[in-house]
Amino acid sequence: MAEGVCGERKSMRCGPRLPRHLTFHARTNASPLTDRGRNQWFHLRRRRHSLSRFLTLAFAFCIDETHADTVIQRMASFISSLHVSPTPFSSPARIECRSAFATFDNTDAIPRESHSTTCPPGHSPSPTTGFSPAFKMIPQRFDLGMLDPSFTVFFCCDFQEKFAPAILHFKEILDVSKRLVEASKMLGIPLIATEQYPKGLGKTVTELDVSSGNALGVVEKTEFSMCVEPVLAQLKQACGGSAKSIVLFGIEAHVCVEQTAIDLKSLGYDVHVVADATSSRSQEDRMLAFQRLQQIGCFITTHENVLFKLIRSKDHPKFKEVQKLIIERVPSTGLVPASKM
């Protein structure tokens, strides 16, 4: 550490740090890197040039510790062949760095079909089935709205009989919800459904089959939020305990759905509210609820957007089945005024 011009302490870091999951562990005297790989890495750190960010980005793709040596050695030989300005922030250096990263090929150094549980923070392994190599090279960013069937749970909130005559566009949002329930069965996505005070509001409408396939059962509740103890227990078990994203839809947008989303966000989940499968008794309450949900960090989306994010490619083995679900256009659910359609 050194004193800066204004008395601030500035870091003397020179290049990227070794990712945490590949660092040397003093207690166990073990490291996934060999001596050669570790020495290569620290040699690269000592070279204070503009490719330090490139090193960090390239290494983010290393999802298997057993191939860390190969990646480091290939980067070392690749970077040593470049002639860039030592000035870290010069424009020519940035351009050459960007070009180098675009042409860097480490596909044979990283096994795309095997996924380690020690991915860098913020990244997660992509499903291998039906995805092209380009998709497998891009880290999954759930915080940016991506969805992965392996880490997604569907929440169906209070689609009950007594709500049918009172809820705006009930028939239309029910049709959309049926598509989501069917998609959960096709893609093997866990589904959790709730009923709000069924003695007074009735059971889940018969059109929604929330008791078969990957459905985890229907939970009765009196609290407005779906996040009651039985639901949270099911959520912890879903996706092998690694659920990250919740696709939420149901009734009513400004009451049960909104309070469920707040609780889920508080627990650290990414929440996708399916607007064309969610409604209230009044359009004002519905639309204002969507605004508030967006303000707290929820993704306000549609069922087609959700389904295409889950399959990501026409090469997905379930693409044809999902396509059949959405081939028929759903009547307007009132999200856009008829005068603007």
Of the candidates 178, 221, 244, 309, the residue annotated as catalytic is 221
Residue 86: partners with Cβ closer than 8 Å, 6 or more residues away: 48, 49, 50
Token couple for 184: 């959960």
Distance CA 156, CA 120 (A): 32
Strand ranges for 252-305 from DSSP E: 270-279, 299-301
Distance CA 249, CA 12 (A): 50
The yes-or-no answer on residue 256 being catalytic is: yes
Which helix (H) or strand (E) covers residue 73, if one does? helix 68-80
Of the candidates 158, 263, 270, 276, the residue annotated as catalytic is 158
Token couple for 41: 């890495």
φ/ψ of 210, rounded to 5, equals -105, 25
Of the candidates 244, 256, 263, 276, the residue annotated as catalytic is 256
The yes-or-no answer on residue 265 being catalytic is: no
Distance CA 19, CA 327 (A): 45
Write down the residue that tokens 């912890």 correspond to. 236
Instruction: Collapse the DSSP code of 270 into the 3-class scheme (helix H, G, I; strand E, B; otherwise coil) and give the result.
Output: strand
Beta-strand pair 270-279/299-301: parallel
* Half-sphere CA count of 90, side-chain side, radius 13 A: 10
Closest CA to 258 of 220, 224, 219: 224
Just list the catalytic residues.
158, 221, 256
